[in-house]
Structure 1
Amino acid sequence: MPSEHHARVFLESIIWAGGRYCPHCGGLRSIKLAGESSRPGLYQCSEAECRGQFTITTKTPLHATKLDLRIWISAMFIVLTSSKGISSVVMARLLGVNQKTAWKMGHAIRELMDDRNGELLPLEDIVEVDEAYVGGAPKSLSGAYNPRGKGTGKPMIFVAASRDGQARARVVADDQRATLEPVLLEWIEPTTTTLMTDGSTSYPGMRKTMASHHRVIHSNDEYANPETGAHVNTAESVISQVQRALVGVYHNLGRQHLQRYLDEIVWRWNHREQVRDVVKQWTTKAGVDREKSTTIWKPIPVLDQMRVLLQGAVGKQMRRSKEYGLCWP
């Protein structure tokens, strides 16, 4: 992109793919302001009750940005192509901005990855669930001690993963059924779901609302049951992505922003590959026609990922607070 104008046109083609609209009132009629005092990309709503001015970044996480839009697009590219995330220190060095700016940009991109509006489809068919403790003070700190198991002070995350490739994750207070079941019911269609869990005592009571429920008992060295097809390896793979990001990139995930980092990791998991079923046909040497159905996993191009990321940008706002933290209007 040779200029910021090209970056603005690129963002407008994605965010306003269905036509330009006013982010204040949703009106479809607007005019471009081209006066000498008008900044580039400024429009005014033509609705009599609105008449608000806006740009492509209005009421998005990029709202009121003073940065070149090419820097924002570069930041999105870096985040989407990183396998485990990227720290604000490294992003600042790559983009030529200071660390505080890169930190805020990273959280703005995670705001785009948030599914707060419940736009994702429910998990279906076979769904695995598991929970884990993550974060806590690094062991290298003097006096830092994190007990194992339920005696730890680390925050708990609850993960559900469908075997078709989609996943969800949320920070929860504890692993009691009263806490986990309402969250799980937000993510799945219980009447058509086969639930796969480990031996935790939180799950047996949920079988009444599920189509079926199978368990593996890790304490008995059972990690997969060939007869029922039970295992939670997919959910544990999602948790391992969280652990890899913690160990290799962020080093410490505090409670305040842990859910935002989970949103990033799960978004990257959900958009890493697209599934396509292919039927292969061939004839054997004996002249017998054979047919086999196979599933092909193809990586999603970064540009397509960016289109998905930006399609719901309007309405997701994030600003600097007076204390130089984050706030949400």
Structure 2
Amino acid sequence: MSQHFLLSAAARSLNLAKVLRMSNKEAETVFARIRWEETDGQPICPACGCDAVYDCRRPNGAPRWRCKACRKDFTLTSGTLFAFHKLPLQTYLAAVVIFVNEVKGKSALALSRDLGVQYKTAFVLAHKIREAMGAEIRGVTLGGEGRTVEVDGCYVGGHVRPENKKADRKDRRLSANQNGKRRVVVAIRERDGRTVTQVFESEAASIGFIKARVERGTILQADESSAWNPLHATFETKRINHQEAYSLDDACTNDAESFFSRLRRAEIGHHHHISGAYLARYAREAGFREDYRRNSNGEQFRRVVTLVTKNGPSVDFCGYWQRNRAAALAA
């Protein structure tokens, strides 16, 4: 019997103890080499792209540089998702390691205990990491001539508690008896490829999104839901009736179902409640974990930190607790 990848030595190329033993200088060096990989960690001005900069550290030793071209000051995290950080950089790197070491997800409460910070600090930090994970699929299209893509939906949230007495209970499957908070996560997953997700009120509302994200000439596979019928006009579509089989006549949605299994387990085992405004973020996090499940934790760490450096300050969570902005999730 072959060994599961997560049990193999190849899955463990980085450990949390190594990060926690880093000095501030070592943590700064690691972050700089990932951010400015093309110059082996030598700073580049994020405002104008000039590499002619000089060191002007603060009196407390915090790293800071000044650009000779535009005369602007910047730090290691300027212009990144970790901009305006208050905690030591080592803590942020440790948070990323803890986050990628989890297979299904990491709750903000557990992260706050691991890092010794307030819950709201861990909550915002976790969502910034999710934002980095989700940034990788922004605008990505899947499939192509002869490629196979699976499409499926998973309804999340909007739980309606049944009445105590059987005589008072209503059919919760009917829209009239729901609370309006139930949403569907639609997953588009390419065989041996990436996973793209988005949240809609119904599966039928996702048709335009699917057409925009799947290349022409793709072989589309979906289940028996009538919501997918309009896709036949654009793609060669194979359908599987799950009341008859999980896979039949070379048609199945097992890869998409695998993603939903991870999302469900994250909801039940870690987060307990992921509906509402943040559902799209949790879905993209699950997609990232599913896509890179065969990569070592060291590779995942480097990829996430790279995405953190490539994306600017969070629109949703910059000044979030001061309510400077309302959270508005981007597609």
Question: Which bin holds the TM-score, normalised by the shorter protein?
Answer: 0.7 to 0.9
- Work out whether 1:209 is the aligned partner of 2:234: yes
Instruction: Give the whole-Å Cα distance in 1 for the aligned partners of 2:163 and 2:31.
Output: 43
Tell me the matched-pair count: 292
Alignment-derived partner of residue 37 in structure 1: 59
CA distance in 2, matches of 1:162, 1:214: 14
Q: Describe the shift of the 1:55–1:314 C-alpha distance in structure 2 as closer, same or farther (beyond 3 A).
A: farther
Structure 1 Cα separation of the partners of residues 110 and 100 of structure 2 = 15
Amino acid at match of 1:21: I
| Structure with higher RCO (Cα < 8 A, 6+ apart) | 2
Amino acid at match of 2:202: D
* Letter paired with 1:53: D
1:264 & 1:117 partners in 2: Cα distance?
11
**Aligned counterpart in structure 2 of residue 218 of structure 1, from 221, 234, 242:** 242
Tell me the CA shift for residue 10 of structure 1. Answer: 0.3
Is the 8 Å Cα contact of residues 141 and 215 (structure 2) preserved in structure 1? Answer: no
User: Aligned partners of 1:308, 1:96: CA distance in 2, in Å?
Assistant: 25
Residue 24 of structure 1, aligned match among 47, 58, 62: 47
TM-score normalized by the length of structure 2: 0.79
Determine which of 269, 277, 280 is the counterpart of 1:259.
280
Instruction: From the superposition, tell whether residues 309 and 37 of structure 1 become closer, same or farther in structure 2 (CA, over 3 Å).
Output: same
Deviation string 1:152-185 (CA, Å, 9 cap, x unpaired) is: 4311111111120421111113222xx3222113
Name the residue aligned to 2:299. 304
Task: Give the equivalent residue in structure 1 for 2:34.
Answer: 14
Which is helix-richer, 1 or 2?
A: 2
Q: Which has the higher strand share?
A: 1
Whether the aligned pair in 2 keeps the contact of 1:223 and 1:231 (CA below 8 Å) is yes
Change over 3 Å in CA distance of 1:2–1:128 after alignment to 2: closer
State the SS of the aligned residue for 2:124: helix
AA in 1 matched with 2:199: V
Partner Cα separation in structure 2 for residue 137 and residue 205 of structure 1: 29
Quick one: distance in 2 between partners of 1:24 and 1:199?
52
Q: Is the Cα–Cα contact under 8 Å of residues 134 and 284 in structure 2 kept in the other structure?
A: yes
Q: Distance in 2 between matches of 1:305 and 1:149?
A: 42
TM-score for both structures, normalised by structure 1: 0.80
Unaligned runs of 5+ in 2: 1-20
Q: Give yes or no for the alignment of 1:314 onto 2:310.
A: yes
Matches of 1:167 and 1:146 in 2, distance apart? Answer: 34
User: After the TM superposition, which residues 1-329 of structure 1 pair with which residues of structure 2 at under 5 Å, given as runs?
Assistant: 1-19=21-39, 20-34=43-57, 37=59, 39-47=61-69, 50-115=70-135, 118=138, 120=140, 122-124=142-144, 125-137=147-159, 139=161, 147-148=172-173, 152=178, 153=180, 154-176=182-204, 179-191=205-217, 193-210=218-235, 212-219=236-243, 221-225=244-248, 227=249, 229-273=250-294, 300-312=295-307, 313-318=309-314, 319-321=318-320, 322-323=322-323
Shift of 1:145: 9.0
Distance in 1 (alpha carbons) for counterparts of 2:260 and 2:92: 29
Amino acid paired to 2:313: Q
- 1:288 aligned partner: none
Deviation at 1:149, TM superposition (A): 6.7
**Same amino acid, percent of matched pairs:** 26
